């Protein structure tokens, strides 16, 4: 019995050390007390500008506004209606109204701004991030971190050159229950993992056939296009439908697969793949949607491991009782995990353990600046900036997951499997496929480090 007790104590100690190491950036109670800054005085406030607030950026602006010792100073959007709405909401939340402007570049000249928060369309993510880094700002950027693979590489290079923190919005990496599940996997609860399944199901409607139209008076179409080569305005692009056009978007894979593919890659402990294959198409509707509403992507990795993603944009039939999530298959059982909790099964399909997110949050006592994953992920970002805490989602890790999704789209576009260098992530022996590694930019807008 003495030996058994010693083993239990050793396991408990290992668990505490794992949680401490993995969730170091999630000590949100520090936020409530006010963090000492490495750059400013202890009582100085952290000031941010938020770019792109029509939807996701609106939520992020409010999350930053709720954090003590943090100010949303600028709200930036080419849609004057969205900027006004978010500015008013931030003022109601924090008691202080941010400045509402169209061009985020004006904020980069303000020495009082500490960070740029980016939730604009995908073609803006890396170029805006790099400009912010050059100006000495930290960056919180939504996924995907690049419109194409090359932009992800440039962003990593810029982060290293300018020495600022860049965090991508793959917020489940800051989830206590996901971290706890990872700890159990690392502890061998279901043996060696060899397969991850990511999935996403939705019931999106058609986007129709767009027509040339006059630019609305509330929209700066020139600035909305930014780095992208110029096209005429059409009536089914702004807002949101740009996701489904190659000129600005990255499809459902980078829009949503990024999250769960990232979880699979994290749990399987893999980086770049050796082979990528994709099948699917625009099956449900006949309209302007250029990407794929139905797509299955498979990635093979060294070490006898694989990941695949099932994406159904127009059929919301759930998988494992969930609309989105990840399943990890091991030699001794299966883990099902999503943003709401996790379940562990043995190889006889017997449920061994089930945890809801709220239960695990209470257990780990990582309350942060609020209970949401957004708040926790932002708390980790700020802790990394101010205190040097480990990032839950460093940009080089974010790039790897985003690149997997880009490679899936390239494979689908090429109509063939791709062989990949697992050291660099580059496609090998396929010049045509590598033409999609970057893009043409509007003259004067080319991102450079």
Q: How far apart are CA 79 and CA 67, in angstroms?
A: 26
Q: How far apart are CA 37 and CA 387, in angstroms?
A: 7
CA of residue 23 relative to chain centroid, distance = 18
Tell me, yes or no, if the pTM score tops 0.75.
yes
Question: Range(s) for CATH 3.30.360.10 in the chain?
Answer: 176-211+243-367+393-434
Q: How far apart are CA 406 and CA 414, in angstroms?
A: 12
The answer to which of 24-38, 78-92, 123-137, 282-296 has the lowest mean pLDDT is 24-38
Neighbours of 133 (CB within 10 A): 25
Provide the CATH topology of domain 176-211+243-367+393-434.
Dihydrodipicolinate Reductase; domain 2 (3.30.360)
Q: What is the reported pLDDT for 135?
A: 98
Residues 420-424: what's their mean pLDDT? 98
In terms of DSSP bridges, do strands 115-118 and 138-141 run parallel, antiparallel, or are they unpaired? parallel
**Cβ atoms 262, 235 nearer than 8 A:** no
Q: Which residue in the block uniquely carries the two structure tokens 């109509």?
A: 415
Question: Range(s) for CATH 3.40.50.720 in the chain?
Answer: 24-172
Residues 442-446: what's their mean pLDDT? 97
Q: How far apart are CA 42 and CA 27, in angstroms?
A: 18
Residues 407-417: what's their mean pLDDT? 98
Of residues 39 and 374, more confidently modeled: 374
**Cβ atoms 330, 193 nearer than 8 A:** yes
Q: Which of 157, 419, 151, 421 is nearest to 272 (CA)?
A: 421
Question: What is the 8-class DSSP label of residue 30?
Answer: H
State pLDDT tens for residues 230-277: 999 999 999 999 999 999 999 999 999 999 999 999 999 999 999 999
Whether the pLDDT of residue 18 is over 60: the answer is no
State pLDDT tens for residues 91-148: 999 999 999 999 999 999 999 999 999 999 999 999 999 999 999 999 999 999 999 9
In CATH, 24-172 is 3.40.50.720: yes
Q: What is the reported pLDDT for 37?
A: 33
Tell me the pLDDT band of 1, cut-offs 50, 70 and 90. Answer: very low
Percent of the chain residues past pLDDT 70, beyond the cut:
88
**Cβ atoms 89, 61 nearer than 8 A:** yes
């Amino acid at each position: 019995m003495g030996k058994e007790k010693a083993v239990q104590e050793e396991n408990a100690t290992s668990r505490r050390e794992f949680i401490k190491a993995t969730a170091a950036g999630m000590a949100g109670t520090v936020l409530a007390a006010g963090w000492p800054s490495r750059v400013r005085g202890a009582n100085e406030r952290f000031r941010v500008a938020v770019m792109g607030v029509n939807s996701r950026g609106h939520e992020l602006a409010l999350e930053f506004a709720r954090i003590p010792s943090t100010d949303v100073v600028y709200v930036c959007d080419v849609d004057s209606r969205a900027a006004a709405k978010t500015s008013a909401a931030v003022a109601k939340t924090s008691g202080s109204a941010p400045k509402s402007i169209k061009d985020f570049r004006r904020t980069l000249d303000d020495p009082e701004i500490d960070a740029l928060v980016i939730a604009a369309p995908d073609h803006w993510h890396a170029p805006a991030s790099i400009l912010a880094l050059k100006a000495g700002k930290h960056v919180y950027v939504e996924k995907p971190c690049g419109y194409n693979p090359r932009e992800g590489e440039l962003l990593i290079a810029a982060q290293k050159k300018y020495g600022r923190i860049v965090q991508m919005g793959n917020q489940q990496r800051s989830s206590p229950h996901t971290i706890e599940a990872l700890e159990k996997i690392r502890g061998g609860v279901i043996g060696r993992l060899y397969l991850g399944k990511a999935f996403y199901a939705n019931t999106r409607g058609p986007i129709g056939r767009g027509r040339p139209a006059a630019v609305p008076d509330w929209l700066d179409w020139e600035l909305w296009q930014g780095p992208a080569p110029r096209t005429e305005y059409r009536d089914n692009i702004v807002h949101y439908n740009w996701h489904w056009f190659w000129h600005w978007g990255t499809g459902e894979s980078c829009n949503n697969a990024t999250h769960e593919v990232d979880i699979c890659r994290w749990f399987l402990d893999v980086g770049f793949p050796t082979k990528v294959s994709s099948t699917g198409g625009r099956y449900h509707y006949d309209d302007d949607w250029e990407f794929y509403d139905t797509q299955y992507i498979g990635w093979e990795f060294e070490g006898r491991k694989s990941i695949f993603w099932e994406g159904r944009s127009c059929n919301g039939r759930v998988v494992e009782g969930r609309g989105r999530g990840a399943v990890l298959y091991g030699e001794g059982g299966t883990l099902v995990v999503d943003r709401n909790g996790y379940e562990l099964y043995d190889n006889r399909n017997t449920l061994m353990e089930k945890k809801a997110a709220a239960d695990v949050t209470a257990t780990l006592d990582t309350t942060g600046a609020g209970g949401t994953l957004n708040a926790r992920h932002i708390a980790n970002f700020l802790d990394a900036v101010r205190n040097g805490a480990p990032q839950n989602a460093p940009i080089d890790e974010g790039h790897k997951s985003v690149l997997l999704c880009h490679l899936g789209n390239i494979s689908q576009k090429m109509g063939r499997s791709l062989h990949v260098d697992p050291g660099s992530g580059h496609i090998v022996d396929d010049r045509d496929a590598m033409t999609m590694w970057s893009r043409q930019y509007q003259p004067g807008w080319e991102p450079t480090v």
